[in-house]
């Protein structure tokens, strides 16, 4: 028998203004400016003052950020919450994530990489059929300059989509022509072919180039695995000759599509949200005025709304006008109030971070970074962790020594054998120094690195060492192997 029961529960809902604040908090200054521009275009009640706002300065109290050792301890820190876990599944998540945005770079003259290849295609004396095949091939070349599809698959796709029956040999022939385009190495199907194309294009190659070409064409497997002794035996050469050939190979471009990456993607300017200054051992910061443009309510529309509101009777058109103005007026006030709240939230959060990482901002030394979590700053400010996360999202802070991504200041902790609590930057620096000082003819394995760090007082597993090494873009031991560099 069905029964009906009443049930009471409390549910918290965010107001429209709170939702707007959450959205605006996570925007960096460039995106915020765009968002405000869109709102101004949509809402006639909002006007932008021609005079820029003064930068909002958050000056510390007299002794607030003084270099006081007694304020630099780790009181209130729960060490267990800082420990790194050895979750190695992050590599699988990175490898299987298909949502990563594909980067496309344009040349500095405004011509994209694909357009540049298409222009070169038009200069070839090709039949209309071969030109169509060439267009299909170029459309399959990725941003790195590599052909992303098998030639047989290209032929099949052309038959399926356009009804054009194409043999694989025809695609291969046109591909060979495209592989003569600039930049050298474009249209390759793998790294070996990419490097080989660049070497074979050399005019009047010297002995070192010819040897490098032989290594790439015939002994690429031994090269990638750094089996140098085997290479010297197979090629009947000495170490000095091999070193010179390797020097030629190192100068080749493994990603020809990104060979002019900086020009292709254009100049990238970082606009800091915060500017930190230090003077006489004291810190202060300002917020960029671009975080809070001077907005005001349109006085003409406000006067019109007041006049309509005082009338006793309105026709349908006037009521519609009044409702429209009221709606836009509410939205305008919400935006202006929310921008003020955003400004205050940014300032409060940065003030807490500045206190927490005082030594780092005074010295500019990464080793001075304290372990810091979102929870620590949330506790210091009274905000939720989600709010802190939005504040630090894509925000930069400009200092006397560098412009830093705010999120990079949040680090986990490492505990030494002596019980000292250090940020992960310390362990990374120790790892880097250990690798820099290793015997490059016989590089250390990750297990050996873990033992070396253990001797320095760091308790780390091999998997954790591997995770740190990979995050620093340092290859495994066998790929760090080098020959003696004496090439007199």
Say whether pLDDT at 200 is over 60.
yes
Rounded (5°) CA angle 436-439-441: 120
Give the CA distances from residue 357 to residues 247, 350, 353, 367, 459, in Å, rounded to whole numbers and listed in that order. Answer: 44, 10, 6, 11, 24
CB atoms inside a 10 Å sphere around CB 403: 12
- For the chain, the structural domain boundaries read 124-178, 191-252
What is the pLDDT, as a whole number, of residue 197? 92
DSSP conformational letter for 382: S
Residue 88's contacts (CB-CB under 8 Å, 6 or more residues apart) are 463, 466, 467
Residue 163 falls in which region: left (phi positive, over 0), alpha (psi -120 to 50) or beta = left
Burial class (CB in 10 A: 0-12, 13-18, 19+), 380: middle
d(CA 452, CA 445): 10
What is the pLDDT, as a whole number, of residue 308? 84
pLDDT 10s digits, 73-85 = 333 333 333 334 4
Bridge partners (DSSP) of residue 168 are none
Mean pLDDT for the stretch of residues 205-233? 88
> 260 versus 341: which is more confidently predicted?
341
Query: Residue 341 in 3-state DSSP?
Result: helix
What is the pLDDT, as a whole number, of residue 352? 92
d(CA 458, CA 427): 8
pLDDT 10s digits, 324-345 = 888 888 888 888 888 888 889 9
Spell out where 140-281 has E strands. Answer: 274-279
Half-sphere exposure of 220 (CA within 13 A, CB side): 11
pLDDT 10s digits, 108-149 = 344 577 888 888 888 888 888 888 888 888 888 887 888 877
Mean pLDDT for the stretch of residues 146-157? 84
Whose CA is closest to 178, among 224, 121, 229, 131?
Answer: 121
For residues 135 and 118, the answer to whether their CB atoms sit within 8 Å is yes
pLDDT 10s digits, 285-299 = 888 777 677 888 888
d(CA 111, CA 104): 12
For residues 170 and 286, the answer to whether their CB atoms sit within 8 Å is no
Q: Is the pTM above the cut of 0.75?
A: no
Query: Residue 257 in 3-state DSSP?
Result: helix
Percent of the chain with pLDDT over 70: 76
């Amino acid at each position: 028998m069905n029964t009906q029961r009443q049930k009471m529960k409390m549910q918290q809902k965010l107001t429209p203004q709170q939702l707007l604040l959450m959205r605006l908090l996570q925007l960096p200054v460039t995106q915020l400016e765009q968002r405000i521009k869109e709102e101004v275009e949509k809402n006639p009640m909002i006007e932008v003052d021609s005079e820029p706002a003064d930068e909002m300065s958050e000056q510390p109290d007299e002794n607030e950020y003084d270099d006081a050792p007694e304020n630099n301890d780790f009181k209130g820190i729960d060490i267990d919450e800082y420990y790194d876990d050895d979750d190695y599944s992050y590599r699988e998540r990175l490898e299987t994530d298909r949502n990563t945005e594909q980067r496309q770079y344009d040349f500095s003259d405004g011509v994209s990489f694909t357009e540049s290849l298409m222009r070169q295609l038009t200069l070839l004396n090709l039949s209309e059929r071969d030109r169509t095949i060439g267009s299909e091939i170029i459309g399959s070349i990725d941003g790195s300059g590599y052909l992303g599809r098998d030639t047989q698959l290209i032929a099949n796709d052309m038959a399926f989509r356009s009804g054009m029956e194409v043999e694989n040999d025809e695609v291969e022939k046109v591909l060979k022509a495209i592989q003569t385009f600039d930049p050298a190495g474009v249209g390759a199907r793998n790294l070996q072919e990419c490097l080989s194309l660049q070497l074979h294009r050399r005019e009047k190659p010297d002995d070192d180039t010819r040897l490098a070409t032989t290594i790439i064409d015939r002994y690429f497997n031994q090269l990638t695995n750094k089996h140098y002794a085997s290479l010297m035996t197979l090629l009947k050469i000495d170490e000095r000759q091999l070193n010179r050939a390797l020097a030629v190979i190192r100068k080749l471009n493994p990603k020809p599509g990104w060979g002019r990456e900086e020009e292709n993607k254009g100049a990238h300017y970082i606009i800091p949200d915060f500017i930190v200054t230090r003077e006489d051992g004291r810190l202060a910061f300002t917020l960029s005025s671009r975080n809070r443009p001077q907005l005001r309510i349109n006085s003409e529309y406000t006067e019109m709304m007041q006049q309509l509101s005082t009338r006793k009777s309105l026709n349908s058109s006037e009521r519609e006008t009044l409702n429209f103005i009221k709606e836009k007026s509410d939205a305008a006030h919400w935006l202006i109030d929310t921008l003020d709240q955003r400004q205050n939230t940014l300032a409060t959060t940065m003030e807490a971070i500045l206190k927490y990482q005082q030594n780092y901002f005074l010295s500019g030394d990464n080793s001075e970074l304290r372990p810091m979590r979102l929870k620590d700053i949330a506790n210091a400010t009274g905000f939720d962790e989600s709010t802190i996360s939005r504040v630090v999202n894509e925000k930069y802070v400009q200092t006397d020594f560098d412009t830093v991504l705010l999120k990079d200041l949040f680090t986990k902790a490492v505990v030494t054998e002596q019980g000292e609590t250090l940020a992960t930057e310390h362990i990374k620096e120790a790892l880097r120094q250990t690798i820099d000082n290793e015997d490059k003819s016989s590089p250390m394995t990750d297990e050996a690195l873990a033992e070396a760090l253990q001797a320095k007082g760091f308790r780390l597993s091999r998997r954790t060492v591997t995770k740190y090494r990979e995050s620093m873009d340092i290859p495994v031991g066998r790929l760090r192997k080098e020959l003696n560099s004496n090439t007199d």
